[in-house]
Amino acid sequence: MWNSPEGEPVEQLQSILVGTEDAAEFLSGLSRLAAAAVSEAAGDQIECAVTVKVRRKPSTAAGSSARAVELDKLEQAVGDGPCIKALRDMAPVIIDDVASDPRWPVLGRKFVEAGVNSSLGVPLEIGNGASAALNFFASKANVFTPNVYDKALGFAAAAHNTLHLSVRINAAQDRADDLEAAMESRTAINLACGVIMAQNRCSQAEAMEILTKVSSNRNRKLRDVATELIEQLSGTSISTHFDS
């Protein structure tokens, strides 16, 4: 069982964030911590899945167990339910008793067959056009009492901050990778232009025009043509000469 003082969820989540190499691994860790925290508050076994919505359609991203993932996918297959509604309205949604809740009869039957009698969806807005939700499942009805509900929302608040940090870190890394690629590309192009200028006794503008023309004629990216020229010139023989 997950025993932690107030404030420790953030430290646990940040520890997972630092120790994981991809989003799926991080979300799996998040869902396991969420399930443990809410299970402790409920005094019963609660499972948790993470649903992510990046564009229009939400999808199951991870779960505290294989069963949690399958339960979340039941809701995805039906196309609506507490988790999807929570994402749509950006507000928590509870099914206290699946058997008597009239809102999603098809999903309700599937939940009962799977041994789920209450459910809670808690949304997380994580920025950059993305959102997520923690989807909790309990085998008993009326499990999500005010205390358990507050525990789930408290954990979601901690998860929100860490998810937002994760998105910012990934976005910053993507920008750094893009900048590095752009700098490498520009360096190769500048070097290739220098070679063409020396070989053809032309200006930089004329060299760029020659390189662009070769790129177009070969239907290849400008950077690739430039890189090929530099690689060939750095080999044992120099055989490439661009003519206008």
CATH number of the domain that residue 39 is part of: 3.30.450.80
Domain count, the chain: 2
157-180 per-position pLDDT tens digit = 877 666 654 444 344 344 444 444
Single residue among 124, 156, 173 that ends a domain in this structure: 173
Contact 58, 87 (CB under 8 A): yes
Query: What mean pLDDT is reported for the chain?
Result: 77
Same domain, residue pair 26 and 141? yes
Same domain, residue pair 169 and 183? no
Same domain, residue pair 138 and 224? no
In a domain, residue 73? The reply is yes
In a domain, residue 81? The reply is yes
Same domain, residue pair 203 and 159? no
Q: What mean pLDDT do residues 143-167 have?
A: 78
Same domain, residue pair 194 and 166? no
Same domain, residue pair 114 and 159? yes
CATH code at position 208: 1.10.10.10
Same domain, residue pair 161 and 187? no
Whether the predicted pLDDT of 234 surpasses 90: no
Least confident residue range of 7-21, 81-95, 109-123, 139-153: 7-21
Q: Describe the chain by its helix, strand, coil percentages, rounded to 5.
A: 60, 15, 25
Residue 9's CB is within 10 A of a number of other CB atoms, namely 24
CA angle, residues 59, 63, 68, in degrees to nearest 5: 95
* pLDDT for position 6: 39
Single residue among 173, 191, 219 that ends a domain in this structure: 173
Single residue among 133, 155, 173 that ends a domain in this structure: 173
87-130 per-position pLDDT tens digit = 999 999 999 999 999 999 999 999 999 999 999 999 987 766 77
Provide the angle, in degrees to the nearest 10, between the axes of the packed helices 204-218 and 146-200.
110
Least confident residue range of 27-36, 94-103, 133-142, 217-226: 217-226
* pLDDT for position 192: 76
Task: For residue 131, give the 3-state DSSP assignment.
Answer: strand
Same domain, residue pair 119 and 227? no
39-96 per-position pLDDT tens digit = 999 999 999 998 888 767 888 888 999 999 999 999 999 999 999 999 999 999 999 9
Domain extent for 227: 175-233
Same domain, residue pair 44 and 153? yes
This model's pTM is above 0.75: no
In a domain, residue 28? The reply is yes
